[in-house]
Amino acid sequence: MIKKTIPCIFLLLISFISHAEIKSMSILYTNDLHSHLLPSIQTRISETRPVGGFANIATLVREKKLSDPDTIYIDSGDYFSGPYVSTLTNGAAVIESMNYLGLDVACIGNHEFDHGWENTLEQLNKASFPIVNGNIFYKNSDQLFWDNPYVILNKAGLKIGVIGLHGKFAFYDTINFKMIEAIETRDEVYYLKKYIAELKPITDIIILSVPAGVLLPPGRVHKLHVCTFGAAHQRADDFADAPAFKQNLIQPVDEGHVNIQFATFRLDQLQGVDALGQLAKGFRCLLQTHALGDTCA
């Protein structure tokens, strides 16, 4: 189900203590953008001022990265479906717009398959930013559907591994079976542990990004420092070392060598300013070009 919400960008401030040297970095995080490219009127916030939209996100990310170069921006999926532009362009306008957001990595959500798995491949290949998933496979095969289970980012002198997974139950419960007839999702717990084992010797921080709940058995998954969730249905305390995100739930943790604190920026509080004008115009041009066949001056 797509809920009509105003997206938030979450900011994580991380201090990593190594050999008496304190290294700091920031993580920006969004999920469930659902093709809301343009600002809109949300009467519960303002009856006159449009809020949200990709231009606001891009501006916020750009300003943060200019003031703090040791910042990464992660999106946890479900960027397709919502306003008509996604359906009319099969998600193409969404991906092309996301290329302007300043993303460092994104994962694949269930709504990215709303126009069929073949279209998913076609559109995701247009992304200028890395996309990760490590547990969706072609049926009867060991071939990953998207052959990029994680990335390693370098910020603040740290190596940050970002794993992308999708909850198995949520995959089948939320997608029309005809849209995923050639692919399948496999046990997220097995692959989470597999990729943690691969990343642990070569990274300082490990992040898990999932669009829908990773359903873990009783017990805990160790060596995760940050988890970013979309429409999750997972207990935060199942992640022993990680501050788990469940939509607006934020839980800080201090495990001794990684100190994490949180602040949030709400896009519904970001005033529309003149500096956004040209960028917003660019997104309108994408809408016109894809949906209406028009050209932009």
pLDDT digits (tens, 9 = 90+) for 56-97: 889 888 988 999 898 889 998 999 998 889 999 999 999 999
**Mean pLDDT, range 105-112, rounded to an integer:** 95
**2 in a structural domain:** no
Percent helix / strand / coil, the chain, rounded to 5: 30, 30, 40
User: How many domains is the chain built from?
Assistant: 1
**297 in a structural domain:** no
**200 in a structural domain:** yes
pLDDT digits (tens, 9 = 90+) for 162-217: 999 998 888 888 889 999 999 999 998 899 999 999 999 999 888 888 886 565 54
**1 in a structural domain:** no
**Mean pLDDT, range 16-43, rounded to an integer:** 75
- CATH code at 148? 3.60.21.10
**242 in a structural domain:** yes
Contact 111, 230 (CB under 8 A): no
**100 in a structural domain:** yes
pLDDT at 118: 97
**Mean pLDDT, range 262-290, rounded to an integer:** 40
pLDDT at residue 41 above 90? no
Q: What are phi and psi of 55, to 5 degrees?
A: -65, -40
Q: CB 87: neighbour CB atoms within 10 A?
A: 15
**273 in a structural domain:** yes
pLDDT digits (tens, 9 = 90+) for 208-242: 888 865 655 444 555 677 777 766 444 444 444 44
Among 279, 249, 277, smallest CA distance to 264 is for: 249
Q: What is the pTM of this model?
A: 0.78
Among 93, 101, 97, 51, smallest CA distance to 73 is for: 101
pLDDT at 13: 60
Domain with 256 in it: 8-292
Stronger pLDDT, 13 or 25, i.e. the higher one: 25
**116 in a structural domain:** yes
pLDDT at 234: 43
Q: In what order do the strands lie in the sheet with 205-212?
A: 150-155, 158-164, 205-212, 226-231
Per-residue pLDDT band at 44 (split at 50, 70, 90): confident
Per-residue pLDDT band at 14 (split at 50, 70, 90): low
Beta bridge partners of 185: 136
pLDDT at residue 1 above 50? no
pLDDT at 179: 93
Which letter does DSSP use for residue 128 in this model?
S
